[in-house]
Amino acid sequence: MGKNGYDFCVGTDNPALCRAITGMLNKAGFYCSGTSKSIPGLLRTLRTVQPWLAVIDTALPPGNIEELASIIENDGLCAAVYINTTGVDLDLYVQFNWPVDAPVLTAVAEAVCNEFAHKIKLQQEIEDLQKKLDQRKLIERAKGLTANYFKLNEEEAYHLLRKASMEKRIPLAEMARQIIEEPGCLAVLSPPR
């Protein structure tokens, strides 16, 4: 694999182009983890192998290369570099006219893989933040229900929720979810003294 552990798949039905691309990237330390000679086959390969990079010939049959590029991008399948052998201009995507110098291809491949890795990290951070926000909303809602049920202020209600979650040995967000889904469970909580 490459110095950053990047693997790639090649999508072309041109054996000479496939050998040339694979040779260039292998020499730079990348590892070829799959090839395909058709758009449907390449999509299956990308979904199965989940490589960091796809290097795709714009002449890959059958179908629309722009649609393929859109699917790869929208589904977040991998980073992609397009080798233009047909004169198709993919304005929104990284593209080279063939032939391309090996140092240029490998430098750009490394850059798009790094960018893809950064994008994945940011998406994970967003998902984590959304999960925390959703948990906070649950806790706030359960705190309100608890405060109303026991006639407590927000701080007292929060402490009661925390105490109940510790006694039951479940996360606070799970305790909150139980209270929201079944408000009757508040009756079994010990009110503060």
- Look at strands 53-57 and 95-97 and give their pairing: unpaired
| Sequential DSSP letters for 61-97 | SSS-HHHHHHHHHHTT--EEEEEESS----TTS-EEE
Q: DSSP assignment of 144-165, as one string?
A: HHHHHHHT--HHHHHHHHHHHH
Question: Could you give the CA distance from residue 119 to residue 112 in angstroms, rounded to a whole number?
Answer: 10
CA–CA separation, 35 vs 18, rounded Å? 8
pLDDT-based confidence at 188, cuts 50/70/90? Answer: confident
Question: What are residue 106's DSSP bridge partners?
Answer: none
Cis before residue 103, ω within 30 degrees of 0?
no
Strand partners, 10: 35, 55
Share of the chain residues as helix, strand and coil, in percent rounded to the nearest 5: 60, 15, 30
Residues 77-105: tens digit of each pLDDT? 999 999 999 888 888 899 999 999 999 99
Give the separation between CA 61 and CA 50, rounded to whole angstroms.
Answer: 21
Helices (H), 89-153: 102-150
pLDDT at 4: 62
Which tokens hold the place of 89?
A: 């201009």
Domains annotated for the chain, with CATH where assigned, are 7-100 (3.40.50.2300), 125-188 (1.10.10.10)
Q: Tell me the mean pLDDT in the region 162-183.
A: 92
Instruction: Name the 3-class secondary structure at 60.
Output: coil
pLDDT higher at 193 or 1:
193
Q: Does 19 have pLDDT greater than 50?
A: yes
